[in-house]
Amino acid sequence: MKRPFQKSRIPESRAFVVKELIAPHFDKNWHFHPEYQLFLVLEGRGTRFVGDHMKAFREHDLVFTGPNLPHLWRNDQSYFEKGSEKQTHGIVVYFPEDFIGGQLLQKEEFEGLRHLLTKADRGLEVSGETNVQLRQRMKELVHLKGLDSIIALFDMLRLMARSKDCHPIVQAGYTNLNKASEEDRMSQVYEYVMERFAQGIKLEEVAALTNMTASSFSRYFKSRMNKSFSDFLSDVRISHACKLLHEDVLNVSEICYESGFNTLSNFNRQFKERTGMTPMAYRKDFQQRFE
């Protein structure tokens, strides 16, 4: 079923929109839109897709994306199981490209903000002390109205513009070649992969979802994601393995097969290629940093 076309997430009567999202899971549709977006995860875990990049997300994940940068916060499959009592909680802020006005934005006083908005074209992951401060300010922003809300938003943008905790997400030179009409097609691909990555997935099966031949789908997917479908599938599996390593419940061999790899040697090789360390070293490093 196709989603209705939506011109903007911001009513004409509003300068920007802030929403508190509480639901069994986040929006599972891969999409992009013309507004800037600041999104904070307060509760929920899964895999975050931004442009050509993917990474496991958890509580306090905070990302600033520019206009028309494709993204998806896809919760783990357990959030979609029948009878699941899991819940997600997030805060999202949308504001348009002309939020300030083109002429005003070119003034000397807005130089720092101009640089921040330019960097947002690649998506920015916000970490460290800046993340801690913005978390609290976003919670407060939900309850502000009128000029107070505008001032608060500008203050948040100023904080990010001055911070060294905002790190680019997608590769330099990434270009979104997707069309709005393709959102449903790509959402189908993401959904299929996220539901079945622990099993064997054949290229022909995924291509059939999009009514393409395998070779046509391969070219189409690589042009949109800057990587082959097989590399994308491996990245999904490695991302899932990272989450299992965080939990410290299964051993490395069990995680290998739970993540869709057929041999331990192949898993270890691909894991090290993508993370720069072995699974055991990754688990130890995570425990030292976060526990």
- The secondary structure of 217-257 as a DSSP string is HHHHHHHHHSS-HHHHHHHHHHHHHHHHHHHT-S-HHHHHH
Which whole number is the average pLDDT over 145-156?
A: 97
> Could you tell me the CATH number of the domain that includes residue 111?
2.60.120.280
Cβ(140)–Cβ(152) below 8 Å: yes
* 2, part of any domain: no
68, 113: one domain: yes
pLDDT tens-digit readout, 127-141? 999 999 999 999 999
Which whole number is the average pLDDT over 89-118?
A: 91
212, 121: one domain: no
Q: What percent of the chain has pLDDT over 70?
A: 96
Cβ(35)–Cβ(69) below 8 Å: no
* 184, part of any domain: no
End-to-end CA separation in angstroms for the chain: 44
81, 41: one domain: yes
150, 215: one domain: no
146, 220: one domain: no
pLDDT tens-digit readout, 35-56? 999 999 999 999 999 998 999 8
Residue 161: predicted pLDDT: 97
23, 117: one domain: yes
Using the 8-state DSSP alphabet, how is residue 83 labeled?
T
* 187, part of any domain: no
Which whole number is the average pLDDT over 60-68?
A: 96
Q: Cα separation of 246 and 116, whole Å? A: 32
pTM of the model: 0.83
Residue 5: predicted pLDDT: 37
Strands 124-126 and 71-75: unpaired
42, 159: one domain: yes
Counted domains in the chain: 2
Which whole number is the average pLDDT over 216-233?
A: 92
**Which residue range forms the structural domain that includes residue 245?**
197-290
Residue 3: predicted pLDDT: 42
Angle at CA 45, nearest 5°, toward 271 and 83? 120
* 274, part of any domain: yes
Q: Cα separation of 140 and 147, whole Å? A: 14
46, 130: one domain: yes
* 223, part of any domain: yes
Using the 8-state DSSP alphabet, how is residue 172 labeled?
T
> Could you tell me the CATH number of the domain that includes residue 255?
1.10.10.60
Q: Confidence band (pLDDT; 50, 70, 90) for 219?
A: very high
Residue 286: predicted pLDDT: 84
